[in-house]
């Protein structure tokens, strides 16, 4: 069964109205926003990744889903296996650091014996939340921060040469919580960039019933990434950025630092340009693992 | 690290007030009650258990925690791996059946690749909830239903001879949701019996700062269990009953069908009797797996 088939089957189960037809990254329950992620050794993290970074990333990626909803973290429940002592202690240190950094206290959890599969349910609070499906033809596409750093960091984690600053972007992503709260009231659509800028923008356009064009020349790159590679297409098709991708009416400026990188139009599908020149779509639009 | 050490370390993390110091089976957030369980193949279920029963049990055990809080199920988030097609379909059929049976719609979830580790976060609603720590000297100890059937069912699942009715108690436990709602306003303490009547009663007494005596002759046994074994000590030290264990002032009758099996006293510790005769404590008080 593919992930898409499994999600279709999950959609056929009795769904809560707050599940939003499982078409978004988080559920709503009153003013609460709920999101759940599992991570598996060898799939979502590397066996030699520092355990504290694994814990940090587990928290940060869940809170990134809350950020895209403009939510303030309220708490989290963790499911974790009991394993090798030194590994577990380092994991808990990273968990402590992340919970403190993002002011997200632990609400509960479960400990099990078993392999290194971890689960987190993060709960936030927001009055109203944008979805990924509200972009309209004419809206501009924006993104916070810089793109591609974490993809470079993954290559560095796997043995490529490169600076620690890029590795850190892969191992200790920072959810854009403050930016998300500022953006939520003004955007027409918002999501976090987890699988790659291009594929996530295509998903936002498809959910919104629009076409989208991304100008690769406008994709914001860090100076570290420019020194490391500088390839904007590689940056825009790598994953794990955890920046916020959002749509705004053409005449609205975002209330936070961000870069305008594209345009929604009538129709459907995705187009890339380099300035005004069309760029053929690559075979791979993003990081397609089985899990999102 | 033992489970107890890990829980101590989790308690040292930033905790939400609703975490109740991680001393209970569920967290509180306003009128919401939250609980999270992970289950692992080979630890919490057998590789040859029917997949639909695994899903049922995942839902039922979480909802049993809500039942002990007198909560009405509101929804659940699931984390599940994508595996072998036929297994996954059967799992989803069991998930569908359980969600419908307990009126607990799906709120969201996450799909991953990886081994058979599943996670569920169940959310319920209750005005006020009993804890496991409110029993007072003089209170009587009560339990719903019958005890030991699921323990017999586990033995049957592993190859022992025995009736399907006992196997079903192990594979398709029924959370006592209606009973929990009726009991919540009147009990002084309540929890569900997951690891075994004796060990869970000892935990309630310890949390409440009391001693407890259980009369094994009073432990309610089903006729199927009497035919199969009839040993009350084996019944009271097996796990997976998912009945409700609760304390009531001596002069209060429970509003649901239940059996009075013991007594809280000043002091601490656990004692067993057979009628008026003391019974030595067995070496094993319950089902002590690494996970609760």
pLDDT the model gives residue A282 = 86
B95 and B224 fall within a common domain: no
What is the model's pLDDT at position A287?
66
Q: Give me the number of domains chain B comprises.
A: 2
A271 touching chain B per CB within 8 A: no
Residues B77 and B15 in one domain: yes
Q: Are residues A95 and A159 in the same domain?
A: no
Whether residues B107 and B172 fall in one domain: no
Q: Does residue B92 sit within a domain? A: yes
- Are A117 and A194 members of one domain? no
How near does any CA of chain A get to the CA of B218, in Å?
A: 32
Q: Is B7 on the interface with A (CB under 8 A)?
A: yes
Strand partners, B117: B40
User: Chain B closest CA to A270's CA: distance in Å?
Assistant: 26
Whole-number mean pLDDT of chain A? 94
| Contact flag A289-B113 (C-beta cutoff 8 Å) | yes
Distances (CA, A) of A140 to A210, A212, A270, B166: 12, 9, 14, 62
Whether A84 and A149 map to the same domain: the answer is no
Q: What is the pLDDT of residue A290?
A: 32
The verdict on residue A131 lying in a domain is no
Please answer yes or no on whether A40 and B113 come within 8 Å at the CB atom.
Answer: yes
HSE value, Cβ hemisphere, 13 Å, CA-based, for B273: 11
For residues B177 and B52, state if they share a domain: no
- Report CB contact under 8 Å: B108, A19: yes
Give residue-wise pLDDT tens across range A64-112: 999 999 999 999 999 999 999 999 999 999 999 999 999 999 999 899 9
Question: Domain of B269?
Answer: 140-279
- Choose one of B95, B125, B155: the last residue of a domain: B125
Q: Are residues B152 and B72 in the same domain?
A: no
What's the pLDDT at A24? 86
Residue B289 lies in a domain: no
Domain CATH for B32: 3.30.1330.10
pLDDT attached to residue B151: 95
What is the CATH number for A228?
3.90.650.10
Residues A200 and A74 in one domain: no
* Reported confidence tier of residue A289, pLDDT bands at 50, 70, 90: very low
* pLDDT the model gives residue B4: 85
Q: Give the Cβ contact number of residue A164 at 10 Å.
A: 11
pLDDT in tens, chain B (292 residues): 888 889 999 999 999 999 998 988 899 999 999 999 999 999 888 899 999 999 999 999 999 999 999 999 999 999 999 999 999 999 999 999 999 999 999 999 899 988 999 999 999 999 989 999 999 999 999 999 999 999 999 999 999 999 999 999 999 999 999 999 999 999 999 999 999 999 999 999 999 999 999 999 999 999 999 999 999 999 999 989 999 999 999 999 999 999 999 999 999 999 999 999 999 998 888 765 433 3
In a domain, B40, yes or no: yes
Contact flag B88-A6 (C-beta cutoff 8 Å): yes
E strand map for chain A = 27-29, 32-40, 72-81, 106-112, 117-125, 140-143, 189-192, 211-215, 244-248, 259-265, 269-274, 277-279
Question: Where among B125, B150, B185 does a domain terminate?
Answer: B125
Same domain for A121 and A159, yes or no, is no
- Of A3, A9, A15, A16, which to mutate for an interface test with B (greatest number of B Cβ within 10 Å)? A16
- φ, ψ for residue A74, nearest 5 deg: -110, -40
Of B66, B97, B125, at which residue does a domain stop?
B125
* pLDDT of the residue at A292: 32
Q: Within a domain: residue B131?
A: no
Separation of alpha carbons A156 and A56, rounded Å: 18
Residues A72 and A46 in one domain: yes
Structural domain contains residue B132: no
In a domain, B239, yes or no: yes
Is the Cβ pair A39, B89 closer than 8 Å?
A: no
Whether residue B112 sits in one domain with residue B170: no
pLDDT over 60 (residue A288): no
pLDDT digits (tens, 9 = 90+) for A201-252: 999 999 999 999 999 999 999 999 999 999 999 999 998 999 999 999 999 9
CA A172 to chain centre: 13
Report the distance separating Cα A248 and Cα A243, nearest Å: 16
Q: Which pLDDT value is given to residue B288? A: 53
Walk across the sheet containing B72-81 and list its strands.
B27-29, B32-40, B117-125, B72-81, B106-112
Indicate the residue of B6, B74, B117 with minimum beta-carbon distance to A114: B117
User: Would you call B183 exposed, middle or buried from its count of C-beta atoms within 10 A (0-12, 13-18, 19+)?
Assistant: buried
Average pLDDT over residues A151-175: 95
Domain contains A133: no
Which residues in chain A are closer than 8 Å to B3, comparing Cβ atoms? 82, 111
Chain B 70-129, residues with CB within 8 Å of chain A CB atoms = 74-75, 77-82, 85, 88-89, 92, 95-96, 99-100, 104-115, 117, 119, 121, 123
């Amino acid at each position: 069964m593919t992930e898409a088939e499994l999600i279709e089957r999950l959609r056929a189960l009795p769904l809560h109205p707050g599940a939003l037809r499982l078409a978004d990254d988080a559920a709503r329950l009153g003013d609460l926003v709920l999101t759940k992620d599992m991570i598996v050794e060898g799939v979502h993290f590397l066996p030699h990744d520092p355990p504290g970074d694994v814990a940090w990333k587990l928290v940060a990626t869940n809170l990134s889903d809350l950020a895209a909803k403009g939510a303030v973290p309220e708490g989290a429940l963790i499911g974790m296996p009991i394993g090798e002592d030194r590994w577990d202690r380092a994991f808990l240190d990273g968990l402590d650091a992340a919970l403190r950094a993002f002011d997200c206290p632990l609400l509960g959890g479960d400990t099990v014996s078993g392999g290194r599969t971890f689960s987190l349910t993060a709960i936030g609070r927001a009055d109203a939340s944008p979805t990924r499906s509200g972009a309209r033809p004419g809206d501009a596409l924006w993104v916070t921060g810089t793109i591609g750093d974490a993809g470079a960091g993954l290559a560095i984690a796997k043995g490529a040469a490169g600076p620690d600053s890029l590795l850190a972007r892969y191992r200790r992503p920072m959810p854009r919580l403050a930016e998300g709260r500022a953006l939520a009231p003004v955007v027409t659509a918002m999501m976090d960039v987890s699988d790659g800028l291009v594929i996530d923008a295509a998903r936002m356009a498809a959910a919104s019933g629009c076409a989208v064009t991304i100008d690769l020349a406008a994709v914001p790159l860090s100076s570290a990434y420019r020194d490391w590679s500088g390839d904007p297409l590689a940056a825009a098709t790598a994953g794990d950025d955890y920046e916020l991708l959002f749509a705004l009416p053409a005449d609205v400026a975002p209330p936070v630092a961000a870069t305008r990188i594209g345009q929604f139009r009538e129709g459907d599908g995705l187009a890339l340009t380099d300035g005004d020149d069309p760029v053929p779509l690559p075979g791979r639009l993003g990081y397609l693992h089985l899990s999102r």
